[in-house]
Amino acid sequence: MSESARLLREVFGFDGFRPGQGEIVDAVAAGENVLAIMPTGGGKSLCFQLPALMRAGVTVVISPLIALMRDQVRALREAGVEAGALTSGNTEAETEEVWSALEDGRLKLLYMAPERLASGGTERMLRRVGVSLIAVDEAHCVSQWGHDFRPDYLRIGALRTALDVPLAAFTATADEDTREEIVRKLFDGQPPQSFLRGFDRPNIHLAFTAKNNPRRQILGFAEARRGQSGIVYCGTRAKTETLARALREEGHLACHYHGGMEAEDRRIVEARFQREDGLIVVATVAFGMGIDKPDIRWVAHADLPKSIEAYYQEIGRAGRDGAPAETLTLFGADDIRLRRAQIDEGLAPPERRAADHGRLNALLGLCEALSCRRQTLLGYFGEEAGPCGRCDLCDQPPELFDGTTAVRKALSAILRTGEYFGSGHLIDILLGADTEKIRARGHDKLPTYGVGGEYDKRQWQAVFRQMMGHDLVRPDPERHGALRMTDAARPILRGEAEITLRRDTIQQAERRPAVKMMVSEEDAPLLSALKAKRRALAEAASVPAYVIFPDRTLIEMAETRPADLDAMARIGGVGAKKLERYGRAFLDVINGASEEVHPARRKLAGRPAGDVYDRLLEVQVALARGETGTEKPLSCSTSQISALARMRPGGVEEIARVLGERRAERFGAAFLDVLQAGT
């Protein structure tokens, strides 16, 4: 019997490895650099815990959540393995016990959060205790393009180099781009030995449905599974509390969990969920990443997740024991708007935001899938599969129809308006709406104006949503959410390809009530961009966001779109000081990079003197070489022009007192005409 098989039986109590585990254990134990992509519940932790027992020295495990570390340390100690964790959640006695075990050379596995790597003493301590292996759990957290980015994960690669020890990285959620980034950030671009063990969790049933009284939908799903442990994920903290209360009122054992709770209250919920049978936790995504509970029988999403990666990780908490488990994900137009706004209001660079919109499109593609969900899900991660028979679309295939004509009309509207507008304005064009925006831009003269009468507004919204799900169009972060066509759309527009859409989601769209928004759908992306700028300025100044500008000011900016400082000065809430301090920054968001304006002119913005200042400059340029154009160049200072613009001189003599005789001789009479015309 090999050493790994012996330890597997004697320490962990298993007679054999799960598929793929054995060769990963051998590679890690042999000191190879390893990247292992394994499905949630596939036994990742064993692949670094067992090699730690086979190697001399200490194995350091970098893990993102305290709950995850505590669970694994507790399980290892139960199995007779010396393990400990250094976390902010430790008691003084727990920390002292870990240090003592390290000093005595007894500790085999040391867990720590990535944030501890920021301490200068951590590297020295790890050198001193004889670290021989670094294991990184949830390695996708190193990806700045991923859904769980943790900045301190970027320090791990430097630690590996400094200690000159092998590194084994593990994750369940990494598409090809994320895997490449993991190799670049953790392994310095040198390809490790990679193991891709598949993403399929065949025991989990997948289901999606459009929102239609979502509270009742979640309560009905839970009722059909009464007495089973489950998790309901919500998009907001407030919803976790109200939905947990509704479940309790229906007789379920339920509690809520979110990041705004006191640490002790969160620990109580975590402990109850581990200990009690049939408990439902209604939570934000702060819950579950570190919970190793094998018998979670169902996971429901009351709101659309952020991405396919996030969805896959969250549903992966169900059925870790391999027994059947079920999922339900609700989605609606308000979810999509929220997720778009979160991307647009983020501080990421444009290429990152564009990629995030693409990831959201991929999730919408899963929501609007035409056939087997599992095929679509696994295809996103680069795997081929046949129909699974364990999803709602395999249970009951959806009604489909040829959507080529509708999609071609929508794409034509996008193209003919220069790819400068969002779905709201495009739908108005297709429906032949009589709006000021359409008249002002002449869009009522377009060939596509009024050609979409076969659908109402909500049905067209469903068409556009499915177009995003097929990745035919994406919001352009540089144009505040205006829809741009992808390369996949062009064959359809040219009549070279056809497309099939789902009829059921379009029909459901008819019954959904409209969601009240702060601004029109057309202006919402710009409002998100303005909020992102406000947040960046507020964080830099360490003040609340409303101190920069209140929401109502940003709403007015988004709706009126001021083109210059004079127009900006007329926005409610933009005083002289704020105009001078922030005006240009917000104009850049609205209109792109704006021209630099001299401080003297900026102070006159929004006042009649500002227009006078501009006309005085025009006259000065015209007379710079005199009336004949042959004289020596002469000009006035900006402070002189500004002083004249603010005053109302009665004659050339008063102008001369500001400019001096020489300049008054050349410009005085012409300046006086401007000043008197402006009075």
| Domain CATH number, residue 557 | 1.10.150.80
Residue pLDDT, tens place only, 433-454: 998 889 888 999 999 999 999 9
Higher pLDDT, 102 or 547: 102
Extended beta strands in 451-609, E state: 473-476, 482-485, 500-502
Q: Do 417 and 374 share a domain, yes or no?
A: no
Give mean pLDDT, residues 25-36: 95
Q: Tell me if 255 sits within 8 A of 272, measured CB to CB.
A: yes
Partners of 400 in beta bridges: 502
Query: Percent of the chain, pLDDT > 90?
Result: 34
| Domain CATH number, residue 301 | 3.40.50.300
Task: Quote the pLDDT of residue 511.
Answer: 41
Q: Does residue 362 fall inside a structural domain?
A: no
Rounded Cα distance, 44 and 21, in Å: 8
User: Which range marks the domain in which residue 671 is found?
Assistant: 609-677
Give mean pLDDT, residues 461-466: 90
Q: Do 38 and 184 share a domain, yes or no?
A: yes
Higher pLDDT, 608 or 85: 85
Is the pLDDT reported for residue 529 higher than 90? no
Higher pLDDT, 267 or 373: 373
Q: Does residue 347 fall inside a structural domain?
A: no
Phi and psi dihedrals of 205, rounded to 5? -85, 130
Contacts of 622 (CB under 8 A, 6+ apart): 670
Is the pLDDT reported for residue 605 higher than 70? no
Residue pLDDT, tens place only, 306-365: 888 889 889 988 987 777 899 999 998 788 878 888 887 777 777 778 888 888 889 999
Report the 10 Å Cβ neighbour count for 105: 12
Domain count, the chain: 5
Which of 647, 653, 656 has the alpha carbon at shortest distance from 676? 647
Which of 38-47, 484-493, 606-615 ranks highest by mean pLDDT?
484-493
Contacts of 261 (CB under 8 A, 6+ apart): 269
Q: What is the DSSP string of 23-60?
A: HHHHHHHTT--EEEE--TTS-TTHHHHHHHHHSSSEEE
Give mean pLDDT, residues 140-147: 69
Task: Quote the pLDDT of residue 250.
Answer: 94
Is the pLDDT reported for residue 604 higher than 50? yes
Task: Quote the pLDDT of residue 136.
Answer: 94
Q: Do 380 and 311 share a domain, yes or no?
A: yes
Q: Does residue 656 fall inside a structural domain?
A: yes
Q: Tell me if 414 sits within 8 A of 473, measured CB to CB.
A: yes
**Cα torsion angle, 361, 233, 515, 212, sign:** positive
| Domain CATH number, residue 404 | 1.10.10.10
Residue pLDDT, tens place only, 639-655: 888 888 887 777 888 88
Give mean pLDDT, residues 512-530: 65
| Weakest-pLDDT range from 140-149, 343-352, 524-533 | 140-149
Give mean pLDDT, residues 646-669: 83
Q: Do 474 and 530 share a domain, yes or no?
A: no
Q: Does residue 268 fall inside a structural domain?
A: yes
Higher pLDDT, 212 or 648: 212
Is the pLDDT reported for residue 274 higher than 60? yes
Phi and psi dihedrals of 328, rounded to 5? -145, 130
Q: Do 655 and 529 share a domain, yes or no?
A: no
Name the pairing type of β-strands 400-402 and 500-502: antiparallel
Q: Do 475 and 535 share a domain, yes or no?
A: no
**Residue after which a domain boundary falls, among 540, 570, 597:** 597
Which of 209-218, 273-282, 532-541, 555-564 ranks highest by mean pLDDT?
209-218
Could you give the count of Cα atoms lying within 13 Å of 21 in the half-sphere of its Cβ? Answer: 21
Q: Do 157 and 244 share a domain, yes or no?
A: no
Give mean pLDDT, residues 48-53: 95
Q: Does residue 51 fall inside a structural domain?
A: yes
Which of 615, 610, 587 has the alpha carbon at shortest distance from 599? 610
Is the pLDDT reported for residue 634 higher than 70? yes
Rounded Cα distance, 482 and 474, in Å: 8
Query: Percent of the chain, pLDDT > 70?
Result: 93
Rounded Cα distance, 64 and 447, in Å: 55
Q: What's the chain's Rg over C-alpha atoms?
A: 32
Q: Tell me if 361 sits within 8 A of 468, measured CB to CB.
A: yes
Which of 598, 502, 563, 642 has the alpha carbon at shortest distance from 209? 502
**Residue after which a domain boundary falls, among 485, 511, 537:** 511
| 623: DSSP letter | T
Which of 53, 52, 103, 108 has the alpha carbon at shortest distance from 85? 108
Phi and psi dihedrals of 298, rounded to 5? -155, 150
The one-letter amino acid code at 476 reads D
Token readout for 391 is 């999803």
| Weakest-pLDDT range from 6-20, 199-213, 440-454, 604-618 | 604-618
Q: Tell me if 238 sits within 8 A of 304, measured CB to CB.
A: no
Contacts of 107 (CB under 8 A, 6+ apart): 58, 82, 83, 84, 98, 101, 129
Confidence bin at 678 (pLDDT 50/70/90) = low
Provide the whole-model pTM: 0.64
Interhelix angle for 638-646 vs 661-677, to 10°?
40
Task: Quote the pLDDT of residue 596.
Answer: 52
Task: Quote the pLDDT of residue 549.
Answer: 87
Q: Does residue 70 fall inside a structural domain?
A: yes
Q: Do 182 and 289 share a domain, yes or no?
A: no
Q: Does residue 360 fall inside a structural domain?
A: no
Task: Quote the pLDDT of residue 373.
Answer: 95
Which of 24, 33, 84, 18 has the alpha carbon at shortest distance from 51? 24
Task: Quote the pLDDT of residue 334.
Answer: 80
Rounded Cα distance, 401 and 322, in Å: 37
Burial of residue 323 (number of CB atoms within 10 Å: 0-12, 13-18, 19+)? exposed
Is the pLDDT reported for residue 674 higher than 70? yes
Is the pLDDT reported for residue 414 higher than 90? yes
For 147, 262, 633, the CA distances from 360, given in Å and listed in that order, are 11, 32, 59
Give mean pLDDT, residues 44-61: 93
| 513: DSSP letter | P
Q: Does residue 17 fall inside a structural domain?
A: yes
Task: Quote the pLDDT of residue 515.
Answer: 39
**Residue after which a domain boundary falls, among 395, 411, 432:** 395
**Cα torsion angle, 317, 321, 322, 324, sign:** negative
Q: Do 647 and 535 share a domain, yes or no?
A: no
Give mean pLDDT, residues 89-106: 87
Give mean pLDDT, residues 543-572: 84
Q: Is 382 left (phi over 0), alpha (psi -120 to 50) or beta?
A: left
Token readout for 335 is 């979810």
Confidence bin at 144 (pLDDT 50/70/90) = low
Is the pLDDT reported for residue 301 higher than 90? yes
Is the pLDDT reported for residue 388 higher than 80? yes
Q: Tell me if 76 sits within 8 A of 110, measured CB to CB.
A: no
Give mean pLDDT, residues 391-411: 94
Q: Do 57 and 138 share a domain, yes or no?
A: yes
Task: Quote the pLDDT of residue 248.
Answer: 96
Could you give the count of Cα atoms lying within 13 Å of 10 in the half-sphere of its Cβ? Answer: 11
Confidence bin at 534 (pLDDT 50/70/90) = confident
Q: Do 663 and 591 share a domain, yes or no?
A: no
The one-letter amino acid code at 222 reads A
| Weakest-pLDDT range from 83-92, 150-159, 587-596 | 587-596
Is the pLDDT reported for residue 289 higher than 60? no
Confidence bin at 288 (pLDDT 50/70/90) = low
Confidence bin at 633 (pLDDT 50/70/90) = confident
Mean pLDDT of the chain, nearest integer = 85
Is the pLDDT reported for residue 17 higher than 50? yes
Name the pairing type of β-strands 167-171 and 280-283: unpaired
The one-letter amino acid code at 96 reads E
Q: Tell me if 146 sits within 8 A of 178, measured CB to CB.
A: yes
Is the pLDDT reported for residue 193 higher than 90? yes
Q: Do 106 and 83 share a domain, yes or no?
A: yes
Which of 331, 338, 343, 328 has the alpha carbon at shortest distance from 466? 331
Rounded Cα distance, 389 and 479, in Å: 42
Is the pLDDT reported for residue 179 higher than 60? yes
